[in-house]
Structure 1
Amino acid sequence: MSAQNALTPRVFLFRHGETEWAKLGRSTGTTEIELNPTGSAQVSSAAAMLVGPGKLLDPRRLERIFVSPRKRAKQTLELLMKPNFDLIQGKYTYTEDIAEWDYGDYEGLKNHEIRVLRQERGHDKERKWDIWTDGCEGGESRHQITERLDRLISQIKEIQQPYMHGEKPVDVLLVAHGLILRCFTKRWIGLSIDNPLPIMFEPGAISVLSYKNNDVDEPALQIGLSLPSEEDALQRIEETYTNDSD
């Protein structure tokens, strides 16, 4: 693990596990859908491999956790942190800023059904509907999404800026949804929501963002991440316990 990777604050993105609507390709914004058995297993498996003292997602190194208030995201947090929930008490906040895109009139519909509906309403005569550009009737526009995500990004930077060289562990975790986390990723690196950057984010998956050169003004995608060795893990556990006792 490089010195920068070990010290620079990180932002972990975790997408909730599979739901029946997600499995069927239905737009799921404000509707309260629970994880299905596959989704629960996805999150539990990730927790066993990735979460715990000395592991990639170390609860003791988390300063804040921002969670979508939708039931499927809450369930995901509970499963993800189940063996370590006592370590995150007082650190997590449910916020609409990281809730899924509000699909409005398109809630519960598949993409082809949305396009048929829009054509019936006289839209999209010159090109196909694209949520990144056109937003959702009765729901949110890309400008509204940008506003709330930028607000959250500013909050995260305020938390992490004083500790860019590892003076204190201040990792942040977001637990949310596929589309909004892809939007967040674009805004993190300064791209507009409708930028055509292709991003995939599977249910129950984790992604990592950070900063180049330990600089809060250089947010970056961490597309390659060295996992901690056993020696690194033991050292980080010792450092975290020391910080906790200060």
Structure 2
Amino acid sequence: MTVPTPRCVIVRHGQTEWSKSGQYTGLTDLPLTEFGVNQMLRTGESIFRNQFINPDNITYIFTSPRTRARQTIELVLKPLTEEQRSKIHVVVDEDLREWEYGDYEGLLTKEIIELRKSRGLDKDRKWNIWRDGCENGETTQQIGLRLSRVISRIQNLHRKHQAEGIASDIMVFAHGHALRYFAALWFKLGVEKQCETEQELANANSYNDDSVPYIALKNYRHLIDNPSFLLDAGGIGVLSYSHHNIDEPALELAGAFISPPPPEEESQHGQL
């Protein structure tokens, strides 16, 4: 082993007016608040100045197309030199958009619960977005499918970079529900479903970058319950692999705020 184990660093966009108020923000394209801008400037200074993330190890950034995510990238990367930024592939991927909330866009959770009650729903059990999805928005199967596609692309790149001996941190900039869902699928929570329908088998053409191979899925995963993860606006998490093995995706509990050790100093845990 000559390079660090690949990592996927997830970053939720900085504060917006609706993330502050708790309103569900899917397709609505809001900018960051002044606090959110300063929040992400401080985050970029911290993670790069202290080498929590080595900018020379960043191979790709995958981002939601929403303004709040792309604005966050610019702020976080501000400490980097122009040369360092030029070496990072930035891939705008529609599959990383936030959950499409449909009728619940702009509402608070308590308002969604009241709306569903007025429509005669949830008489036998409480609404659970991770299981029940959103009226006139996305089901949990739909968001699970598209996030499974993103994960397959990133893990394929990690596998390629590891084989080539290239250090590879891939950063993902997106949203609260989408990134918590993404993290849960990363280490295989939820249930697996075979791709059978036209939508499941289709190439969604969600990004435009020839350096990122398209991966045709045979199966995908989706959630049926809350994974009980928190990721506030501006939050960062780190996903990686056990035993330096791309087939063993795992949550790196230490997070981005502990600098990864040199490869020769990494723990060599045995197979369990």
Fold shared per TM-score above 0.5: yes
- The question of whether the paired residues in 1 share the 8 Å contact of 2:57 and 2:167 is answered with yes
TM-aligned CA deviation for residue 166 of structure 1 = 8.0
CA RMSD of aligned residues (A): 2.1
Q: Distance in 2 between the 1:112 and 1:126 partners? A: 18
Q: Which runs of 5+ in 1 are unaligned?
A: 233-246
| Correspondence list, 1:1-246, <5 A | 7-51=4-48, 55-84=51-80, 86=82, 87-89=84-86, 91-164=89-162, 167-192=165-190, 193-225=223-255, 227-228=258-259
Percent identity over paired residues: 39
Matched position secondary structure for 1:34 = coil
* Deviation per residue, 1:121-169 (Å, 9 max, x gap): 1111111111111101111111011110111111011101134378111
- The question of whether the paired residues in 2 share the 8 Å contact of 1:9 and 1:166 is answered with no
Structure-2 change in CA distance of 1:228 and 1:123 (3 Å) = closer
TM-aligned CA deviation for residue 196 of structure 1 = 3.6
Give 2:209's aligned residue: none
- The question of whether the paired residues in 2 share the 8 Å contact of 1:8 and 1:165 is answered with no
TM-aligned CA deviation for residue 88 of structure 1 = 2.8
Give 1:243's aligned residue: none
Structure-2 change in CA distance of 1:195 and 1:128 (3 Å) = closer
Residues paired across the two proteins, number = 227
Q: Distance in 1 between the 2:181 and 2:164 partners? A: 28
Give 1:238's aligned residue: none
TM-aligned CA deviation for residue 58 of structure 1 = 2.3
* Deviation per residue, 1:174-228 (Å, 9 max, x gap): 0111110000000000012234431111111111000000111100000025733
- The question of whether the paired residues in 1 share the 8 Å contact of 2:24 and 2:106 is answered with yes
- The question of whether the paired residues in 2 share the 8 Å contact of 1:28 and 1:107 is answered with yes
- The question of whether the paired residues in 1 share the 8 Å contact of 2:53 and 2:259 is answered with no
* One-letter amino acid of the structure 1 residue matched with residue 90 of structure 2: Y
- The question of whether the paired residues in 1 share the 8 Å contact of 2:128 and 2:226 is answered with no
- The question of whether the paired residues in 2 share the 8 Å contact of 1:15 and 1:201 is answered with yes
The 10-residue stretch of structure 1 (79-88 or 150-159) with the greater mean CA deviation from structure 2: 79-88
Matched position secondary structure for 1:47 = helix
Matched position secondary structure for 2:157 = helix
* One-letter amino acid of the structure 2 residue matched with residue 183 of structure 1: Y
Structure-2 change in CA distance of 1:56 and 1:166 (3 Å) = farther
Q: Distance in 1 between the 2:182 and 2:151 partners? A: 8
Q: Distance in 2 between the 1:31 and 1:215 partners? A: 38
TM-aligned CA deviation for residue 57 of structure 1 = 2.0
- The question of whether the paired residues in 2 share the 8 Å contact of 1:8 and 1:166 is answered with no
The 10-residue stretch of structure 1 (187-196 or 134-143) with the greater mean CA deviation from structure 2: 187-196
Give 2:205's aligned residue: none
Q: Distance in 2 between the 1:76 and 1:166 partners? A: 30
* One-letter amino acid of the structure 2 residue matched with residue 209 of structure 1: L
